[in-house]
């Protein structure tokens, strides 16, 4: 299978970057996209050139590390699929592929296709947890939770924090990520004591990191490899509005 790749190459955060063109050899349609990049890197190393840097870990669509834009779409053309789950059979013989890192001011490029996603970690540190002392594990039926709420919480918890929502948004907003992390706790009894403060704290950090405001174009939902619903953004907005009544001293936010 012959394809042509145009890959963003950037030595470090301070260096200017540019697209470089490659034609990898021995590309099998059954290879994953990252395996194809591995083959290309082997060719580059044999030639004495620098390998293309890209993030990866589990290669099973779980860790969210494989953050790259393929032909203008975060994670590539397949819906509900991360870049590591994408296979070369999704493309045709002779295709030209353009591979870039996430494009967002809050995600500066580290090298080539790798961006700094630590802003997500700082957002999580502001409320993505339950701090009550739960003690030992309770019996399964000790804290009844309706199936509807449990399912919605589980769906929100499926967010892998990859940042595709930010890359797809014209404003580089991370509201889908924040709302998913807030919702997975807000829907459960264990998350109620800190629900309002959680919404305030995580949204404030979102704004401080430089992410943009949500304008509800649904691009984030369309690009999300876990198909997280923007229903979570509506829930976060409701929690934020309620929270400003309880804690008016924290009401300022770029997402008002």
DSSP assignment of 161-194 equals: ---HHHHH-TT---HHHHHHHHHHHHTSGGGSTT
Is there a contact between 172 and 106 (Cβ–Cβ < 8 Å)?
Answer: yes
- pLDDT tens readout for residues 24-40: 988 999 999 999 999 99
Q: What is the pLDDT of residues 153-202, one digit of tens each?
A: 999 999 999 999 999 999 999 999 999 999 999 999 889 989 999 999 99
**Distance of alpha carbon 223 from alpha carbon 256, whole angstroms:** 24
With a cut of 60, say whether residue 245 has pLDDT above it: yes
The CATH code of domain 118-250 reads: 1.10.1060.10
Around 111, how many Cα atoms within 13 Å sit in the side-chain half-sphere? 8
pLDDT value at residue 111 = 97
pLDDT given at position 256: 43
pLDDT surpasses 70 at 251: no
pLDDT of residue 137: 67
**Confidence label for 253 from pLDDT (cuts 50, 70 and 90):** very low
Q: Where are the domains of the chain?
A: 4-111, 118-250
Q: Where are the beta strands (DSSP E) in 23-155?
A: 69-70, 73-74, 96-100, 109-111, 114-115
User: Rounded distance, CA 177 to CA 233, Å?
Assistant: 9
Let me know if the fold of 4-111 is the same as that of 118-250: no
Q: Which residues contact 9 (CB under 8 A, 6 or more apart)?
A: 17, 18, 19, 20, 52, 112
Contact 229, 155 (CB under 8 A): yes
Averaged pLDDT for residues 57-85: 96
Q: Look at residue 74 and give its three-state secondary structure.
A: strand
Torsion, Cα of 178, 110, 17, 85 (10° steps): -60
Distance, CA of 223 to chain centre: 9
pLDDT at 247 over 90: no
Q: With a cut of 60, say whether residue 136 has pLDDT above it.
A: yes
Q: Is the pLDDT of residue 145 over 90?
A: no
Q: How far is CA 169 from CA 12, 63, 178, 210, 240, in A?
A: 25, 21, 14, 13, 21
Confidence band of 133 (pLDDT split at 50, 70, 90): low
Contact between 30 and 89 (Cβ < 8 Å): yes
Has domain 4-111 been given CATH number 3.30.710.10?
no
């Amino acid at each position: 299978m012959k394809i042509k790749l145009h890959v963003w190459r950037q030595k470090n955060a301070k260096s200017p970057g540019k697209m470089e063109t490659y034609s990898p050899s021995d590309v099998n349609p059954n290879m994953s996209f990252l395996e194809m990049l591995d083959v290309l890197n082997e060719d580059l190393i044999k030639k004495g050139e620098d390998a293309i840097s890209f993030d990866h870990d589990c290669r099973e669509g779980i860790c969210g590390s494989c953050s790259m834009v393929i032909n203008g779409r975060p994670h590539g053309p397949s819906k509900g699929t991360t870049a590591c789950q994408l296979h070369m059979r999704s493309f045709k013989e002779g295709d030209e592929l353009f591979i870039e890192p996430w494009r967002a001011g809050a995600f500066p490029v580290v090298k080539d296709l790798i961006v700094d996603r630590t802003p997500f970690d700082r957002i999580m540190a502001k409320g993505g947890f339950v701090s009550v002392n739960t003690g030992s594990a309770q019996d399964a039926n000790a804290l009844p939770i309706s199936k509807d709420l449990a399912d919605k919480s589980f769906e929100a918890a499926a967010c892998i924090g990859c940042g595709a929502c930010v890359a797809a948004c014209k404003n580089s907003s991370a509201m889908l990520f924040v709302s998913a992390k807030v919702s997975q706790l807000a829907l459960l009894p264990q998350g109620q004591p800190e629900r309002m403060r959680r919404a305030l704290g995580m949204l404030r950090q979102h704004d401080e990191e430089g992410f943009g405001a949500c304008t509800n174009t649904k691009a984030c939902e369309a690009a999300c490899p876990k198909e997280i619903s923007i229903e979570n953004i509506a829930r976060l907005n409701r929690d934020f509005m309620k929270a400003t009544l309880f804690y008016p001293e924290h009401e300022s936010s770029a997402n008002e």
